[in-house]
Amino acid sequence: MSTPAPATPYRGRFAPSPTGDLHAGSLLAAFGSWLLARHAGGEWLVRMEDVDAPREVPGAARRQLAALAAFGLHPDRTVVFQSQRGALYQAALDRLLASGQAFVCHCSRAALGATRGIHRTCVATAPRADPAVRLRVPDTAVIAFDDAIQGPQRQDVAREVGDFVLRRADDCWAYQLAVVVDDAEQGITDVVRGADLLDSTPRQILLQQALGLPRPRYAHLPLVLDAHGRKLSKSDAAHPVDPADPLPALRGAWAALGQPPHALSAAADVPTMLAAARTHFDPRRIPAGAATKVAAMQHQNFTTRG
């Protein structure tokens, strides 16, 4: 795989899945990653993570990109689509298979029930027509990293996750493999995303090590909760943000990032608001655990929760 050196010391990205319209949580990730990239004088890319065909909503990718444009968040390079990058993922998988770090697995979900779905050794008694490919996770695979917002993290991947899937039984590329290959191939130096992906990070670091790829820096933004205090899933389309009325949603995301609301109060259009945001943004104010209720964000009543 060719891994071009980044043209700048900082290259971030926003990588949504087209499983619905842009919602408050994804806008927070988009705006937060954009602000951190701009603050560092770096580049900001957008990648459409459309490898999970069964969960994809027709038209969602186009609507998400249109929404980003309406919010004034324009990527510095051409948007890439994971659905067009299968050859890159196949090459990485072939390397892992050839080195014995990945293996074909015929185990069914039911057969792994006794170990709560955690795979450490194959238990299949018969081959299946649609086997998966998994990463062979060493017993000693304990991954530690320092998240720029959430602080020191540690996961015993062997015990807590087990041998994880790289190529799914339904013939889709697994999220973990596609993300790791793309972040390296695109020269991403800084991964900024929602804290719901914090526990995926050790798997991605393990895959980077297996493939000999550089480890980017990580910053996981606070989660956004819905009106009932539950976290929004990536596929939750219940609270889409309104691209036709971008200022309230940008103000809500700004407040959820721990930034002072008054800094944006005078801005009456998107370019003015983004310029003010760039001037007043301070990454040290981003809270680790707080989250803003979506309902509150929509009414510009910025209630943050510890």
Binders of Zn ion: how many residues, by CB under 5 A? 3
Q: Report helix angle 201-211 to 86-98, nearest 10.
A: 70
CA distance to 63, 94, 101, per residue, from 67 (Å)? 6, 37, 40
CA distance to 16, 24, 80, per residue, from 288 (Å)? 21, 17, 30
Interface residue with Zn ion, options 107, 211, 249, 291 (CB under 5 A): 107
Distance in Å, CB of 95 to Zn ion, minimum: 20
**Which DSSP helix (H) or strand (E) runs through 98?**
helix 86-98
Window contacting Zn ion (CB under 5 A); options: 32-40, 115-123, 140-148, 178-186: 115-123
Q: By C-beta, is 107 or 213 nearer to Zn ion?
A: 107
Cα–Cα distance, 48 to 83 (Å, whole number): 8
Q: Sheet holding 80-81: strands in order across?
A: 11-14, 43-48, 80-81
Window contacting Zn ion (CB under 5 A); options: 50-58, 103-111, 139-147, 274-282: 103-111
Q: By C-beta, is 124 or 275 nearer to Zn ion?
A: 124
Interface residue with Zn ion, options 70, 97, 118, 122 (CB under 5 A): 122
Question: Residue holding tokens 């720029």?
Answer: 148
Interface residue with Zn ion, options 37, 88, 105, 294 (CB under 5 A): 105
Q: By C-beta, is 105 or 250 nearer to Zn ion?
A: 105
Q: By C-beta, is 105 or 225 nearer to Zn ion?
A: 105
**Which residues, other chains included, contact 80 with Cβ-Cβ below 8 Å and sequence gap of 6+?**
45, 47, 48, 182, 186
Distance in Å, CB of 133 to Zn ion, minimum: 10
Distance in Å, CB of 228 to Zn ion, minimum: 38
Cβ atoms of 29 and 194 closer than 8 Å: yes
Window contacting Zn ion (CB under 5 A); options: 24-32, 116-124, 149-157, 224-232: 116-124
Is there a binding annotation on residue 17? yes
Residues 232-261 that bind Zn ion (CB under 5 A): none
Q: What is the full DSSP assignment across 120-134?
A: SS---SS--SS-EEE
Q: By C-beta, is 4 or 127 nearer to Zn ion?
A: 127
Is there a binding annotation on residue 193? yes
Q: By C-beta, is 105 or 253 nearer to Zn ion?
A: 105
Cα–Cα distance, 187 to 87 (Å, whole number): 18
* 22 binds Zn ion per the rule CB under 5 A: no
Q: Which residues contact Zn ion (rule: CB under 5 A)?
A: 105, 107, 122
